[in-house]
Amino acid sequence: MTVQIPVLDKILRTVLVYALIVVIFRIIGKTAISSMNTMDFVVMFLLSNVVQNAIIGDDDSLLGGVIGAVTLVVVNQAVDRLAYRDKRFRHLVEGRPTVVVREGRVDEEALRRLGIRHAELDHAVRVQNGDTTDQVWSGVMEPGGQLVLDIRPADQAATQADVQALTERLARIEALLIARPDGPAAT
């Protein structure tokens, strides 16, 4: 087995293409990644084919492919570990959370920058058991593209645990009323 392109050249090509793809995804933004549609997947598949030649060049040997694949996996693991350990690096490659709702007020500029429509925000509120953005205490678009909303406690729907606690409390009150000398049992 011979490699048609020097090993160091192949590794360098792979690292540079990896860095380019990271930059492209940082530019397109977190909402684009979280809401990929069919056309976006087509672009992803075609993108992988386009950059393949940049990584392997004229080398179609098995060993050349293995070197490219191993380099990609190793570089990705190194980036993941560095992002885990270094907050500044993590923000560089992943981005930062973006506040879109604060105390019930929508940050229109943040929505515009992220490309989020009001209908998408309203849908996220309904999915998380709210009715309107007025009920949202905090809304944040995470770097991975998840829209996390915290509904004000006063506006949250009752849970089964809330109903159970209320039922138990009412039973205790009823027992106290029955036990009183002038209570309902006394009449």
Q: What is the pLDDT of residue 75?
A: 92
Backbone angles phi, psi at 58, to 5 degrees: -85, 0
The pLDDT tens digits for 135-169 are: 888 999 988 778 888 887 776 667 788 889 899 99
In a 3-state reduction of DSSP, which class is residue 106? strand
Under 8 Å between Cβ of 128 and 120: no
The pLDDT tens digits for 86-137 are: 999 988 888 889 999 998 899 999 999 888 889 889 988 888 878 888 888 8
- Going from N- to C-terminal start, the domains of the chain cover 7-94, 98-155, 159-187
Under 8 Å between Cβ of 140 and 148: yes
CATH superfamily of this structure's domain 98-155: bsu07140 like domains (3.30.240.20)
In a 3-state reduction of DSSP, which class is residue 78? helix
The pLDDT tens digits for 37-85 are: 777 778 877 888 788 878 877 777 788 888 888 998 999 999 999 999 9
